[in-house]
Structure 1
Amino acid sequence: MTIEWRYTAEQDLGVLSVSGFLGPDAVHRFAGAIGWVVGRGSGPVIVDLAELGSWSAEGQLAIIDAARRLAAAGRSLELAAIPADGSLVPDADCPSIPVHSDLAGALAAHSMRHGEPAEGRHEWRATGWPTADDAGE
């Protein structure tokens, strides 16, 4: 099983939403999504895991690697809605990874720290991520 992802960039932050199972088979795809994120947008990146069914130890290590890659690019990583089956325990040389209970809480915390996001929203998604047309909207 793999993951699907959607990345939305606003002027001062990005949101990477991930669905599926972040296990050994999906780590490469997740790393590719992070590469996409590094090249687009600016500011902190909130990884929204609300639609993630579960993650493995390899998936958690991929999150830690993503935090390092983003830090090297001058950006930070925050998590929203981590799976209930585990917690993320980064090692000592990992950048700080704030964890929020859900995406709304992460966005609210970001707005309180940085003010309201500016205009200019862009969105990219994996081909398997449902669109508004798929949902009947």
Structure 2
Amino acid sequence: MTIEWRYTVKQDLGILSVSGYLGPDAVHRFAGAIGWVVGRGDGPVIVDLTELRSWSAEGQTAITEAARRLAAAGRSLELAAIPADGSLVPDGDCPPIPVHADLAGALAAHSTRQGEPSEGRHEWRTTGWRAGDDAGE
């Protein structure tokens, strides 16, 4: 089993929504999604895990590697709605990873810091992502 993902850019904020199971078989696909994210947009990236069923230790490591990769590109990573079956414990050299209870809370935290997002929006997704699902709307 693998993951599906959708990346949406709103103003200076990226939202990477992930569904499925982030296990050993999905780590490569997640890293590819992060590569896509690094090349598009600016500012912080919220990884929305609302539709993620679970993650493995390898999946959690992929999250911390993504935080490092984004930090190297001058961007930060935040998590929204981590799976209930675990918590993320990054190692000491990982950039801070803020965790929000849900996507609405993550977006609210940014709207108070940066003002309301603009109407402009760009979106990319895997072909398996369900049509009609909207990030943060």
TM over 0.5: yes
Question: 1:74 aligns to what?
Answer: 74
Kindly indicate whether residue 38 of structure 2 is the aligned counterpart of residue 48 of structure 1.
Answer: no
- What are the superposed Cα offsets for residues 26-85 of structure 1, whole Å, 9 maximum, x if unpaired? 000000000000000110000000000000000000000000000000000000000000
Q: Which runs of 4+ in 1 moved over 6 A?
A: none
Aligned residue number for residue 129 of structure 1:
129
Q: Does 1:13 align with 2:10?
A: no
Post-superposition offset of 1:119? 3.3
Matched-pair identity in %: 85
TM-score, length-normalised on structure 1? Answer: 0.95
Aligned equivalent of 1:92? 92
Deviations 1:60-112 (A, max 9, x none): 00000000000000000000000000000011110000000000000001111
User: How high is the TM-score relative to the length of structure 2?
Assistant: 0.95
CA apart distance, 1:113: 1.5
| 2:65 aligned counterpart, secondary structure | helix
**In the TM superposition, what is the alpha-carbon distance from 1:120 to its structure 2 partner?**
1.8
Determine if contact 1:17/1:49 at 8 Å carries over to the other structure. Answer: yes
Question: Deviation per CA, 1:1-27, whole angstroms, max 9, x where unpaired?
Answer: 000000001221000000000000000
The RMSD of aligned alpha carbons is: 1.0
Alignment gaps of 5+ in structure 2: none
Q: Is the 8 A contact 1:7 1:124 kept in 2?
A: yes
1:118 deviation in Å? 2.5
How far apart are the structure 1 equivalents of 2:119 and 2:66? 26
Q: Measure, in 1, the Cα distance between the counterparts of 2:12 and 2:117.
A: 6
Shift, 1:132, TM fit: 1.9
- Output the CA distance in 2 between the equivalents of 1:118 and 1:65: 30
- Residues 113-122 or 85-94, more deviating: 113-122
Distance in structure 1 (CA, Å) of the matches to 2:120 and 2:130: 22
